[in-house]
Amino acid sequence: MSTLDSTVCTRRSARVAAQQPGQHLSRVDNDADDVAKSSAKQQKRTGKHSKGRTVTPTAEAAAAPETALLQPIGTSNASSSSSTHTAVPAVQLPPSSKARKGSSSSAKAAAGPSRAAEQAMWAKGYKAVAGVDEAGRGPLAGPVVAAAAVLPADIQLAGLNDSKQMSEGAREELYEQLTSHPDVAWAVAVVDRETIDEVNILQAAMLAMTRAVQGLARAPDAVLVDGNRRPACLEHLPMQALVKGDASSTCIAAASVIAKVTRDRLMLELDAQYPQYGFAQHKGYGVPAHKAAIQRHGPCPEHRRSFEPVKTMTGWAGYGQAAKAAAAAAAAAEQQVAAGAAAAEAEVVSVAAEEQQPLQEAAADAGDAAAAAAQDQGQAKEQKGSRKGRTQQQRKRRSSPGEAEAAAASAAGGAGRRRRRA
C-alpha cells in the first residue's frame, strides 16, 4: 500500500477523494491548536502500544464537530472563521495484511507464470514435467475438457498467462504455437455431459485430467496440477497441486490454453446444433441470457441435468442413475443368460434322450432276440434230448435180437400152456 497523501478514514471520505483526483484531502478542525493538543494526547495514550508505528491525528479529529468537511489543503471552511487553517499533515501508514496480499497477487499476475515449479522438479531428477489443467467446470452445458502439456526447457511463449486472463485471439495464437511445436508433448481429454451428471463435475474433471496425462505419447516423470486436488489415478506419479497454478506455472498455463481453446471450439459446434441458446457467445456459462433461453426453450441434450436450473426443470434423480441402470441391466442380462443356459441344457438333455431312445429300443429288441434265441436253444436241446433217447432205445433194441425172440417165445409158450389147461 503506497503512502497516503491524505488521512481518509471513512467510506464517504474515500468517495470524495475518488471524485477529486490529484487533490490532497484532509479532515480539518475549526481550531488547529485543538487538533494539535488532541494529537499530542492521543500519541501519549497510544505510544506504548504503537511500537514505532506513526499515528495519524485523524483519530483525534474525529472528536471534532460532525460538520467538519474534507477540503483541499489551503482552502478554508465556509463555516469557520476567516483565520488561516492549518492542514493536518499526511501520515504514512503501514499496509494491512489484506492489502499486502492483494498487491502481492497483483504483482504475480502482472509478472505472469514462471518455470519455478518445473525447475524444482527438474532439480529432483524429473525431466518430463507435465502441466495439467481443465476448462468447463462451471458452465450449465457442454463437456469438461482437460489438457496436459510437457514443454521443452528452452521454449519462449510470449504473452502466456492463465487462459481466463487472455483474449480469445491471444489464446488461439498460443494454441497454434503450442500444438504445432515439434518438441511440445500435449494431449486433450473430453468428458461428456452424461458422465458429468453420473459422477459429479469434480470427479468428471479429475477423470478428464487423468485421461489427458494418460494420453501423452510418453508418460511424464512428474505432474503439476492446477487447483488443490490431485487425481487419485495419478498418485503413482510424483505430483504437486498448485492453487492458481494456471497463473503461476508455465506448463499449467500452457495446458489451460489448450483446454480452453479446445472446449470453446466444441461449444461453437454445439452452437451450430442448438443456435437458440447462444453457446457461441457464453460457451455454456450461466449468464442471464443463457438462463432465459433455457426457460424459453427448455434444456437441450447437452445441458447438465445436475446443474440448476436444469436440475429442477428435468427432475434429475441424482448421481449414479446410469450406474444403477447399468447394474440392473447387467443383472437382467445375467438372469437371461442363466435362463438361456438352463434352456439349452434342457434341450441338450432332450436331444440326448431322443438320441438314446433308438439305442434303447435296439437294446430291447436285442434282449428280446436273445431271449427268443435262448428259448429256441432250450427247445432245441429238449428236442435233441428226446431224439437221442428214442435213438438209444432203438439202438438198444437192434443190439439185443435174441432177447426179443426169447421174450416172444416165452410169451408164446405161456399162451400154449394156458390153452392146455383149458
Q: In whole angstroms, how large is the CA radius of gyration of the chain?
A: 55
DSSP annotation string for 11-58: HHHHHHHHHSTT--EEE--S-HHHHHHHHHHHHHHHHHHHTTPPPPTH
Q: Which three cell numbers stand for residue 170?
A: 491471444
For helices 168-180 and 250-273, what crossing angle results, to 10°? 110
CA–CA distances in Å: residue 9 to residues 4, 15, 16, 57, 223: 11, 11, 11, 11, 48
- Ligand-binding annotation for 226, yes or no, is yes
CA–CA separation, 393 and 231 (whole Å): 115
Distance CA 81, CA 66 (A): 17
Tell me: is residue 192 an annotated ligand-binding position: no
Supply 332's cell numbers: 437382467
Close Cβ partners of 246 (under 8 Å, ≥ 6 residues apart): 113, 133, 162, 163, 164, 226, 252, 253, 255, 256
Residue 134 is labelled as binding a ligand: yes
d(CA 40, CA 388): 165
CA atoms within 13 A on the CB side of 145: 21
Task: Give burial (CB, 10 Å; 0-12/13-18/19+) of 318.
Answer: exposed
Buried/exposed code over 406-416 (b: 16+ C-beta within 10 A; e: otherwise): eeeeeeeeeee
How many Å apart are CA 91 and CA 4, to the nearest integer? 6
Residue 154 CB contacts under 8 Å (≥ 6 apart), including other chains:
none
- Positions at the binding site for a divalent metal cation: 133-134, 226
- Positions at the binding site: 133-134, 226
